[in-house]
Amino acid sequence: MSFADEANSDVPTLPGTHSGIPTYLLEKARKEKETVFETRTKPINERQRLPVVPQGIERDDFLKALAELKGQLGAEHVEVNDKPLRDGWYMEHPNTHDMMTILDEEELVASAVVYPSNTEEVQEIVRWANKYRIPIFPISMGRNLGYGGAAPRVRGSVTIDLGKRMNKILDINPEDYTCLVEPGVSFYALYEAIQEKGYDHMWIDSPDLGGGSVLGNTIDRGVGYTPYGDHWACHSGLEVVLPTGEAIRTGMGALPGNNTWQSFPYGFGPYSDGIFSQSNYGIVTKMGMTLMPNPGGYESFLYTFQKEEDLAPLMEIIRPLRISNILENVAQVRHVTQAIAARGLPRATFFSSSGPIPNNIIHAAAAKTPVGDHTWAYYGMSYGPAHIRAHKLALVDSEFLKIPGAKKIDTSTLPPDEYFWARDRVAAGVPDIHELRWVNWTPNGAHIAFSPVSPIRGTDATALFALGKAAHDKYGIDFFPAFCVGLREMHLIVEIVFDRDDVKARKAALDCLRDLVDEAAELGYGEYRTHLVLMDQVAKTYSWNDGAIMKFNEKLKDALDPNGILAPGRCGIWPKRYRGRGWEMTRDSGMGSEGNGVAAD
Amino acid sequence: MSFADEANSDVPTLPGTHSGIPTYLLEKARKEKETVFETRTKPINERQRLPVVPQGIERDDFLKALAELKGQLGAEHVEVNDKPLRDGWYMEHPNTHDMMTILDEEELVASAVVYPSNTEEVQEIVRWANKYRIPIFPISMGRNLGYGGAAPRVRGSVTIDLGKRMNKILDINPEDYTCLVEPGVSFYALYEAIQEKGYDHMWIDSPDLGGGSVLGNTIDRGVGYTPYGDHWACHSGLEVVLPTGEAIRTGMGALPGNNTWQSFPYGFGPYSDGIFSQSNYGIVTKMGMTLMPNPGGYESFLYTFQKEEDLAPLMEIIRPLRISNILENVAQVRHVTQAIAARGLPRATFFSSSGPIPNNIIHAAAAKTPVGDHTWAYYGMSYGPAHIRAHKLALVDSEFLKIPGAKKIDTSTLPPDEYFWARDRVAAGVPDIHELRWVNWTPNGAHIAFSPVSPIRGTDATALFALGKAAHDKYGIDFFPAFCVGLREMHLIVEIVFDRDDVKARKAALDCLRDLVDEAAELGYGEYRTHLVLMDQVAKTYSWNDGAIMKFNEKLKDALDPNGILAPGRCGIWPKRYRGRGWEMTRDSGMGSEGNGVAAD
């Protein structure tokens, strides 16, 4: 599940890299690699096409331009992407491409990766890109797996790996409960820093996996599982390098000498932060984040529901409880198939045929687990002192048990390695990595997400479940639905796990996703976020008034990025010189990743 | 106090107008007019300069253009501003100017007012304005008193009075706890509609005064006093007419057939709502708003503190309680001078000399009130069932009473007309108008606000209090400080009440404000919102990196509004053809409201 997938560090980082993951977790990750990543230890593919050069520039000119950049940043901070993408079980250069690619692995790759150390160097890179009209693609830590990982949208872009060197926690303010971070600060790193300072009055909020960038996750509008789960709503203040090289600070950051940049988000005049989320209008180099006050106690809980059709009445029960904050965090209502997969064993352990795994096999497997057989599981947490929690938990209990067959699981009986405890940690603001285990469901496991938004309603849940099930059945794919209930809406997160070395499996996953996006849009459901290769298609579903919002987005893009150098195509927004030249990727247009050229002027 | 002043309907609306205020309140307002507005019953001023014509167009061409617009909208929906601004105790055309003007009353006036009935007509007006390059200034209901009322920033603009005819509540959703409103829906109207439907499970959030526009207040980033007080954070979805005439819908509104426009704010791609707040980039014609769930009980409380120097330790106590949501709503820490003024009696009742009213007189007056003598009063509310409130109230009590001399007021002893009960109503989501009584402090009472943002800290509160006190003393003005504590920050709201018919009093108020803005900025404090005539000055204080944020704002303005017709100068943002032509109003540039011309091309 990757509700907030910048953090989806499905591939544990090796020592010596810049993950910000503490050593004990790297140890853990190494120990887990046999079980989780055994299927990746195959010999590497032969490299077919590297190195690449950005379209519209000759190879020699590109190398000359890179030499110039090396002169500015230092030669060691500019690397051409000319090494194998895979080396042994792990990648040499994880931030050159998508480690979970849904296309041919060398389709969406960087021509080079650069490592700025500060905002001024980011500005230099942007000016350099304008001078040579080279597409640049900024990443924080490259952990946006399930949504494109570190891959650039335009093949041959120069990737700006911000996180490698810009990984400082610039401030933690224990009075205001805020912090200021650079792009390379992971949820783990922030958590560790707060623990080290002994600030036990403050919590962070982490998405499912803690290895990603706090900043990157937030500007992609990722979500976590404490009451501070809406990361975008919880940030305060950005520093942004614009596509023409100027640096701005938003909110109170624009007032010299202020002491409120991280405590009051809005400032004076237009509140411009939003247009730097899910966009290609600027490179965010610093971000303020609020921290949650320790609630004075917490207690997670688990209910199971027996039948698929329990989903609708459950949603009707959840909605008012969630809006009233009796259910206080992003609720997860998970299907049993994913629960079984999250135990980390390959699908072949249970079922050796092709096609979706039969229900009876899943239920038989579930019956043998400590949680017991069920179809849906609700993972929640209650916050506050014991007597305050008791009030809320009693309400939840009386409501949930109205559904016949509903059970409250006695979580004290669950073994330490049970998935429930991973959810417990995450909902208590403790970064975790257990979630990634379901990637092991297939050989060479990778995943890609379908994530439509709907109201919290039985009818919507049922419609989305039916739509998802039909498409998965059509393509012979196991269906992993999890409903994540925000406040007034829910995100259905469907992770398709596929064998990334199996061309047919990749195609089935992508075809299934393309169906899902279009069919959902016909019913009025749109994605809150999507994978690089689906961005054009998803953007097109937001088509009210003859595509007015995209025309507006393009107007902003052209004004802010007249040379069209910054992350062309991200979220479906193409700069003028790319538009109408075949760069879009849709079901009809095919790959489109090389386009039909770029306007010379 | 006008923390959220679009709602500052200081002038009760007469029957037959389009306020959306229910009849019983109009009755109440009429009854109150003798006490509140007795000073306004003077003979009207002679009109000096009306009608005006927008600069850059000849009178005949302007009238011809208006005739064309009449043909489109209907003659009765286009009115030239050629009638007296005042007639009897009340204004004939309240939405042609600022009823609480700090400048000469006919300085910032409309040339005409137009009344569209729907989004398409707003688009027609915008296209018309582009054709003739006529500045247009949209208002929702014109109640932004204290910040400029209904006045346009550029003299002679054509005011688009959206609220008169676009005043429908388009949806109230009792399942999702949301609504969709047009610009003319007041807090009163929304409240009444919810009551009429019997939806007692949902609350609205109202600012100090309930007569203003929900939409207008929200896009000016106004604030109310329930846990849903941050109106901007609580909205979901906009429909916006761009300065070139296109209509867009933000968030999920861009997805045809969606059912999540009001329940999920972000949509897909850049989240653009923010740039339509405190700006001149678009005309918001519809807005979604979330509604608060009835908390199942509430209980307001009042503590008083004896000494001015209690402010600093009180803030240190408030901060962690507020961030932890033990204090659950926007706290008001008010100075006793304003508490006395809020009783509605003129200052002359207490003190007949000029210069600030002495402390001993204020304290003597306070001693005679049911609340008793004090310097600071904290108005708060606790939400939830009784046993949940008891937990929070006990924590608050033990903390607040650490301050020597602090008293918890037994509110059951307070008479029904006491100001406390107005705060009680507002914090329970019931619109009110009691707040306006302090306008009666001076003859022809008007007010203008200084509203800097700071952390919730004793040192900051003390610094701002000292700064404010010194400036008020310098100009001989009574000082009405109220600290409104958001979550991690507070807004000091200082209302300067002045006699709008007294040129010297107006000048003193404005000079005092200009001092306050500059002196606060030197200490790192910036305004969250400001009056029309201070917008240029305040915008200039947000000057980090050589004014980078304003250069960015101007770049967006020029891209979105190439003819520079929409609300030129709002929030200090001038379109290209106005820049460098003397339109700014600062201490040095003087009035500037007629500028030195507008570029012809």
Q: B525 to chain A nearest CA, in Å?
A: 6
How far apart, in whole angstroms, are the C-alpha atoms of residue A243 and residue A560? Answer: 6
Interface test with A, best of B219, B266, B319, B535 (most A CBs within 10 A): B266
Compute the average pLDDT of residues A319-328. 97
Query: Looking at the annotation, which residues of B are catalytic?
Result: 147, 528-529
Q: Does B122 touch chain A (CB under 8 A)?
A: no
Of A435 and A579, the structure prediction assigns the larger pLDDT to A579
Q: What is the per-residue pLDDT for B4?
A: 35
Q: Which residue of B has its CA nearest to A525?
A: B258
Compute the average pLDDT of residues A361-377. 97
Q: Enumerate residues 280 to 299 of chain A having a beta carbon within 8 A of any beta carbon in chain B.
A: 281, 290, 293, 295
Query: What is the token pair recorded at A129?
Result: 């890109």
Q: Does B17 touch chain A (CB under 8 A)?
A: no
Give Cα separations from B458 to A375, B329, B375, B463 (angstroms): 54, 20, 16, 8
Q: Measured between beta carbons, which residues in chain A are less than 8 angstroms from residue B233?
A: 233
- DSSP 8-state assignment for residue B47: P
Low-confidence ranges of chain B (pLDDT < 50): 1-48, 88-90, 592
Among A201-215, A321-335, A478-492, B93-107, the least confident range:
B93-107
Q: Does A350 touch chain B (CB under 8 A)?
A: no
Could you read off the pLDDT of A337-352 as tens digits, one per residue?
999 999 999 999 999 9
Q: Which residues contact A210 (CB under 8 A, 6 or more apart)?
A: A7, A9, A21, A186, A187, A188, A191, A426, A430, A431, A432, A433
Compute the average pLDDT of residues A41-65. 72
Of A473 and B10, the structure prediction assigns the larger pLDDT to A473
Q: Does A559 touch chain B (CB under 8 A)?
A: yes
Diameter of chain A measured on Cα atoms: 71
How far apart, in whole angstroms, are the C-alpha atoms of residue B151 and residue B111? Answer: 11
Q: Does B393 touch chain A (CB under 8 A)?
A: no
Q: Does B528 touch chain A (CB under 8 A)?
A: yes
- DSSP 8-state assignment for residue A113: E
Contact B568, B583 (CB under 8 A): yes
Helix (H) or strand (E) holding B138: strand B136-139
Nearest CB to B246 within list A256, A271, A548: A548
How far apart, in whole angstroms, are the C-alpha atoms of residue A146 and residue A99? Answer: 10
Among A185-194, A237-246, A534-543, B11-20, the least confident range:
B11-20
Strand partners for B288 = B180
Q: Which residue of B has its CA nearest to A456?
A: B176
Q: Enumerate residues 416 to 455 of chain A having a beta carbon within 8 A of any beta carbon in chain B.
A: 453-455
Beta-carbon separation of A268 and B236 below 8 A? no
Q: How confident is the model at residue A83 (pLDDT cuts 50, 70, 90)?
A: confident
Sign (positive/negative) of CA torsion B513, B516, B520, B521?
positive
Q: Does B389 touch chain A (CB under 8 A)?
A: no
Beta-carbon separation of B175 and A457 below 8 A? yes
Sign (positive/negative) of CA torsion B224, B230, B235, B240?
positive
Q: Measured between beta carbons, which residues in chain A are less than 8 angstroms from residue B275?
A: 270-272, 274-275
Dihedral of the CA atoms B395, B401, B407, B408 (nearest 10)?
Answer: 10
Q: Enumerate residues 298 to 327 of chain A having a beta carbon within 8 A of any beta carbon in chain B.
A: 319-320, 323-325
Q: A430 to chain B nearest CA, in Å?
A: 19
Backbone angles phi, psi at A481, to 5 degrees: -85, 140
Compute the average pLDDT of residues A473-493. 97
How far apart, in whole angstroms, are the C-alpha atoms of residue B183 and residue B169? Answer: 9
Contact B505, B516 (CB under 8 A): no
Contact B272, B250 (CB under 8 A): yes
Q: What is the per-residue pLDDT for B9?
A: 36
Q: Where are the beta strands (DSSP E) in B364-502?
A: 376-383, 407-408, 445-450, 452-455, 481-485, 489-499
Helix crossing, A386-400 with B386-400: angle to 10°?
A: 160
Among A78-82, A562-566, B288-292, B368-372, the least confident range:
A78-82
- DSSP 8-state assignment for residue B380: E
Question: Is residue A106's pLDDT more than 60?
Answer: yes
Instruction: Report the candidate in B298, B261, B260 with the shortest Cα–Cα distance to residue B392.
Output: B298
Contact A474, A512 (CB under 8 A): yes
Q: Measured between beta carbons, which residues in chain B are less than 8 angstroms from residue A386?
A: none
Nearest CB to B260 within list A264, A454, A530: A454
* CATH value of A537-589 in 3.40.50.300, 1.10.357.10, 1.10.45.10, 1.10.10.10: 1.10.45.10
Q: β-strand A136-139 against A158-161: which pairing, if any?
A: parallel
Q: Which residue of A has its CA nearest to B270?
A: A275
How far apart, in whole angstroms, are the C-alpha atoms of residue A438 and residue A32? Answer: 13
Instruction: Report the candidate in B578, B576, B572, B574 with the shortest Cα–Cα distance to residue B595.
Output: B578
Nearest CB to A541 within list B255, B325, B530: B255
Question: Is residue A2's pLDDT more than 50?
Answer: no
Q: What is the per-residue pLDDT for B41?
A: 31
Q: Which residues contact B466 (CB under 8 A, 6 or more apart)?
A: none
Query: Looking at the annotation, which residues of A are catalytic?
Result: 147, 528-529
Instruction: Report the candidate in B367, B491, B295, B133 with the shortest Cα–Cα distance to residue A392.
Output: B295
Transcribe A330-371 into DSSP letters. -EEEEEHHHHHHTT---GGGT--SSSSPPHHHHHHHHHTSTT
Beta-carbon separation of A253 and B544 below 8 A? yes
Instruction: Report the candidate in A496, A511, A487 with the shortest Cα–Cα distance to residue A450.
Output: A496
Nearest CB to A246 within list B272, B548, B558: B548
Contact B222, B3 (CB under 8 A): yes
Compute the average pLDDT of residues A123-147. 95
How far apart, in whole angstroms, are the C-alpha atoms of residue B298 and residue A256? Answer: 41
Nearest CB to B269 within list A255, A548, A572: A572
How far apart, in whole angstroms, are the C-alpha atoms of residue A538 and residue A212? Answer: 24
Q: Does A488 touch chain B (CB under 8 A)?
A: yes
Beta-carbon separation of A255 and B521 below 8 A? yes
Q: Does B390 touch chain A (CB under 8 A)?
A: no
Q: Measured between beta carbons, which residues in chain B are less than 8 angstroms from residue A264?
A: 453, 486, 488-489, 528
Q: Does A120 touch chain B (CB under 8 A)?
A: no
Could you read off the pLDDT of A402-434 as tens digits, one per residue?
999 999 999 999 999 999 999 999 999 999 988
Q: Where are the beta strands (DSSP E) in A76-135?
A: 78-80, 112-114
Q: Taking the CB of residue A432, how many other CB atoms lie within 10 A of it?
A: 24
Q: What is the per-residue pLDDT for B99?
A: 85
Interface test with A, best of B231, B261, B544 (most A CBs within 10 A): B544
Query: What is the token pair recorded at B445?
Result: 């009472």
Q: Measured between beta carbons, which residues in chain A are less than 8 angstroms from residue B488?
A: 176-178, 236, 262-264, 290
Interface test with B, best of A262, A323, A325, A487 (most B CBs within 10 A): A323
Q: Which residues contact A282 (CB under 8 A, 6 or more apart)?
A: A240, A241, A242, A243, A248, A276, A560, A566
Strand partners for B292 = B203
Beta-carbon separation of A453 and B541 below 8 A? no
Of B556 and A600, the structure prediction assigns the larger pLDDT to B556
Per CATH, is A298-534 categorized as 3.40.462.10? yes
Q: Measured between beta carbons, which residues in chain B are less than 8 angstroms from residue A555?
A: 559-560
How far apart, in whole angstroms, are the C-alpha atoms of residue A228 and residue B425? Answer: 29
Beta-carbon separation of B274 and A274 below 8 A? yes
Beta-carbon separation of A264 and B232 below 8 A? no
Instruction: Report the candidate in B207, B175, B176 with the shortest Cα–Cα distance to residue B190.
Output: B207
Q: What is the per-residue pLDDT for A454?
A: 98
Nearest CB to A255 within list B256, B279, B542: B542
Nearest CB to A269 within list B177, B460, B539: B539
Q: B260 to chain A nearest CA, in Å?
A: 6
Q: How confident is the model at residue A601 (pLDDT cuts 50, 70, 90)?
A: low
Diameter of chain B measured on Cα atoms: 71
Q: How many CB pairs under 8 A join A and B?
A: 293
Looking at residue B31, its amino acid is K
Q: A32 to chain B nearest CA, in Å?
A: 35
CATH architecture of A47-161: 2-Layer Sandwich (3.30)
List the domain boundaries for chain A: 1-38, 47-161, 169-293, 298-534, 537-589
- Looking at every residue in chain A, the average pLDDT score rounds to 90
Q: Enumerate residues 37 to 66 of chain B having a beta carbon within 8 A of any beta carbon in chain A.
A: none
Q: What is the per-residue pLDDT for A89?
A: 43
The CATH number of the domain covering residues in A169-293? 3.30.465.10
Q: What is the per-residue pLDDT for A107?
A: 87
Question: Is residue A361's pLDDT more than 50?
Answer: yes
Contact B96, B85 (CB under 8 A): yes
Nearest CB to A545 within list B248, B454, B525: B248
Q: What is the per-residue pLDDT for A36?
A: 35
pTM: 0.93
